[in-house]
Amino acid sequence: MKRRDMLKKSLGGGALLAFTNPIDLISNASKVQAKDSSVGNPLRFPPVFTNGGTMTLSETNVNVWPGQNTLGMVINGSYPGPSVVIQKGATFTANFVNQLNEPATIHWHGVSTPELMDGHPKDAIPAGGNYTYTFPVGNRGGTYFYHAHADMRTAEQVYKGFAGFFIVDDLAELPLNLPRGNFDIPLCLQDHRIADIPQFTYNVQMNDMMFGYLGDTVLVNGTPEAYLNVNTTLYRFRILNGSNGRVYKVALSDNSPFHIIATDGGLKDAAVQATSFYLSPGERVDILINFSSYAIGQSVTLKSQAFSAPGMGTYRQGIELDLLRFDITGNQSSGGVVPASMPSITYYNPAEVKAARNFILSVAGGTMNVHKINGLSFEMERIDWQTPLNSLEEWKIVNATNNLHPMHSHEAQFQVYSRNGITDLAPNDKGWKDTVLVYPFETVRTLVKFTEYKGIFLYHCHNLEHEDDGMMLNFKIVDPIGINETGETLPDTFELKQNFPNPFNPSTSISFDLNVSGNVEMNVYDQTGKLVATLVDNYVPAGSHKVIFNASGLSSGEYFVRMVAGDIVKTIKMTLVK
């Protein structure tokens, strides 16, 4: 039933309308009046960035609304910024020139880079400065993006246009016969305020800081009231939510199904049919839409459906919005197919988790730094925790607020494990993720492992007003204990000392020195090998440590202390004499 949305050349639809039910007639009537082919602007496409070239950030007038100038903060005079399209395995290089009168930095969202290439606010390029970003692109093929990340300036700079696509192409995906070329279309969604047209005025009030700087009209690739002429064939759309605070519930206006084929970190392990999905700021979802059931002359609109969430209250988040109108105008074939199967994804096993961390999201009273993670606001110089390389961790996010928080980790793609204990996930949650939407009062468990680079990276809310308000922490990726960067076991990363006193009754102390931080397990066994006590089983920072063993419930005899850190095991023998 596409005719409810047969918006274009609507007179021809009169006969069809007679067959629809009364509800359809009402919605039809309003939609037919609302739109025709003379309404709207053809979807724009940012220029493609030439690898190795310059990205100049400046305050420049761009043309967004026809015939009017908008003062943006944009790369190379383009809003959105030029699209990076790069092959997996290639080395990306961009010479960044900051012509703003304030610091700026580029974060390559979802892409694994060395610490000094990640665009951390501590590495911001001062006004008038420049910096060469260069890194090998090891990520899976997929839809990534880049955006501003300077301290407390991210939201305004992104709102004013400082963001663009970073698309990784993997030729190994060619046999899947996905639509390519003119049938593979990136869509960047950003909401702006009708009252401020034609300017990107950014003036945060208290409500904006709480809910995000919400607009009431959506620009797609910088196009207001965008439409795209399409053929009666299969298309791939790479949908990026580049908005500051708005969550979209993406659907077609006639509720036609489509296939979700990719999440933040590239292709899923199966194409999954759906009629809608949520997309929060920072997230990407790739979908396949087949227009072959439409007739030339018809239209259908990509929308954000109205939604609400428990406790979220009634504010402008969740209103119905038009995103992009598809006008069916041709019958050229893309040759693409919905793959019957796609390469598998290895899902992490929660039984192999080496460390579990909790992240409690809260809102305190006041006017600044009210958004907190574990009671903390961002501090540039403070490292909030250390995570060893190659160690699977569970990061459990507990949203203790009545608001939406898209939580984003730099440096790795993670996996969502459960929402409120439920492991049967929506198709846009299942796969590789770098941003996960946490609904009000929800608990989301994620599994994450860092495998590439050591250094200081960020974990934060991607509602950019929340981020700028300090809902962000630093963590440091460190060597796994006992293993060096090339995977060799290091012989002397810890020392387990003889207990004192020895013999003992009933208590004795056991000391150990760690050269690097890491997960430590220390158990006490009796002569038969039976476990009698666990003294340490957690992440321990580098340094000297002492634990007390109390044997008051045990009988005289020899006992063994076994300490494991990394791949190294050390044992001491001690004697209990009662």
461 near Cu ion, judged by CB under 5 A:
yes
Nearer to Cu ion, 317 or 387 (CB): 317
Structure tokens at 158: 């992104």
Residue of 60, 253, 387, 463 that binds Cu ion (CB under 5 A): 463
Looking at the Cβ atoms of 135 and 441, the one nearer to Cu ion is 441
- 407: contact with Cu ion by CB under 5 A: no
Comparing CB distances to Cu ion, the nearer of 398 and 532 is 398
Count of CB atoms within 10 A of residue 187's CB? 24
Q: Which stretch binds Cu ion (CB under 5 A): 341-349, 435-443, 459-467, 565-573?
A: 459-467
| Minimum CB distance to Cu ion, residue 461 (Å) | 3
- Give 429 or 479: the residue with its C-beta nearer to Cu ion: 429
Site string for Cu ion, 408-447 (x = CB under 5 A): ----------------------------------------
Q: How far is the CB of 501 from Cu ion (least distance, A)?
A: 53
Closest separation between CB of residue 405 and Cu ion, Å?
Answer: 3
CB of 564 to Cu ion, least distance (A): 38
The span from the CA of 71 to the CA of 62, in Å, is 6
Minimum CB distance to Cu ion smaller for 149 or for 466: 466
**Helix (H) or strand (E) run with residue 157 in it:** helix 154-159
What gap in Å lies between CA 224 and CA 219, rounded to an integer? 5
CB of 463 to Cu ion, least distance (A): 4
Q: Reduce the DSSP state of residue 91 to 3 states and report it.
A: strand
**Minimal distance, residue 207 CB to Cu ion, in Å:** 14
The residue (of 407 and 561) whose beta carbon lies closer to Cu ion is: 407
Among 153, 466, 514, 540, binds Cu ion (CB under 5 A): 466
Instruction: Report which secondary-structure segment, H or E, holds 136.
Output: strand 130-136
C-beta closer to Cu ion: residue 471 or 574: 471
Q: Does 405 bind Cu ion (CB under 5 A)?
A: yes
Instruction: Determine which helix (DSSP H) or strand (DSSP E) holds 15, and give its type and residue range.
Output: helix 14-17
Torsion sign over Cα 54, 264, 352, 438: positive
Choose the stretch contacting Cu ion; rule: CB under 5 A; options: 27-35, 213-221, 327-335, 399-407: 399-407
Q: Binding mask 96-135 vs Cu ion (x if CB under 5 A, - otherwise)?
A: ----------------------------------------
Strands (E), 232-354: 234-241, 248-252, 258-263, 266-274, 276-279, 284-290, 299-304, 321-330
Least distance (Å) between residue 264 CB and Cu ion? 17
User: Considering CB under 5 A, how many residues would be counted as binding Cu ion?
Assistant: 4
Q: How many residues are listed for the chain in this entry?
A: 578
Q: How many CA atoms lie within 13 A of 397 on its CB side?
A: 32
Q: How far apart are CA 432 and CA 425, in angstroms?
A: 13
Per-residue b or e along 352-379, where b marks 16 or more CB atoms closer than 10 Å to that residue's CB: ebbbebebbbbbeeeeeebbbbeebbbe
- Non-local CB neighbours of 36 within 8 Å, separated by 6+ positions: 7, 8, 9, 10
User: Smallest distance from the beta carbon of 471 to Cu ion, in angstroms?
Assistant: 5
**Least distance (Å) between residue 469 CB and Cu ion:** 9
By the 10 Å C-beta count (0-12 exposed, 13-18 middle, 19+ buried), 282 is classed as buried
Cβ-based nearer residue to Cu ion, 287 or 461: 461
CB 281 within 8 A of CB 311: no
- Signed CA dihedral, 265, 269, 270, 273: sign only: negative
Nearer to Cu ion, 8 or 405 (CB): 405
Please state, in angstroms and rounded to a whole number, the distance separating the CA atoms of residues 572 and 574. 7
Measured from the CB atom, the residue of 365 and 529 that comes closer to Cu ion is 365
Contact track, Cu ion, 485-524, x by CB under 5 A: ----------------------------------------
Rounded alpha-carbon distances, angstroms, from residue 102 to 121, 201, 463, 514, 568 = 12, 17, 22, 43, 49
Query: Which pair of structure tokens corresponds to residue 320?
Result: 């119905």
- Spatial contact of 40 and 325, defined as CB atoms under 8 Å apart: yes
Token readout for 51 is: 């690898």
End-to-end, the C-alpha distance of the chain in Å comes to: 85
Give, as one character, the DSSP assignment of residue 10.
G
Instruction: Check residue 353 for interaction with Cu ion (CB under 5 A).
Output: no
Q: At its nearest, how many Å lie between Cu ion and the CB of residue 502?
A: 53
Q: Which of residues 257-286 bind Cu ion (CB under 5 A)?
A: none
Judged by CB, which is closer to Cu ion: 8, or 466?
Answer: 466
The smaller minimum CB distance to Cu ion, of residues 171 and 400, is found at: 400
Which one, 88 or 466, has the nearer CB to Cu ion?
Answer: 466
Rounded to a whole number of angstroms, the minimum distance from the CB of residue 195 to Cu ion is 25
Residue 466 CB, shortest distance to Cu ion, in Å, is 3
Stretch that binds Cu ion, among 314-322, 388-396, 454-462, 493-501 (CB under 5 A): 454-462
112-120, 244-252, 463-471, 557-565 -> range binding Cu ion (CB under 5 A)? 463-471
Q: Which amino acid is at 404?
A: L
Q: Measuring CA to CA, which residue among 359, 347, 356, 351 is closest to residue 432?
A: 347
Q: Tell me the residue type at 25.
A: L
Q: Smallest distance, Å, CB 448 to Cu ion? A: 19
Region binding Cu ion by CB under 5 A among candidate stretches 139-147, 273-281, 316-324, 458-466: 458-466
Nearer to Cu ion, 207 or 332 (CB): 207
The minimum distance between CB 467 and Cu ion, in angstroms, equals 7
What residues have CB less than 8 Å from 508, skipping those under 6 apart?
A: 499, 500, 501, 502, 548, 549, 551, 574
Enumerate binding residues for Cu ion (CB under 5 A).
405, 461, 463, 466
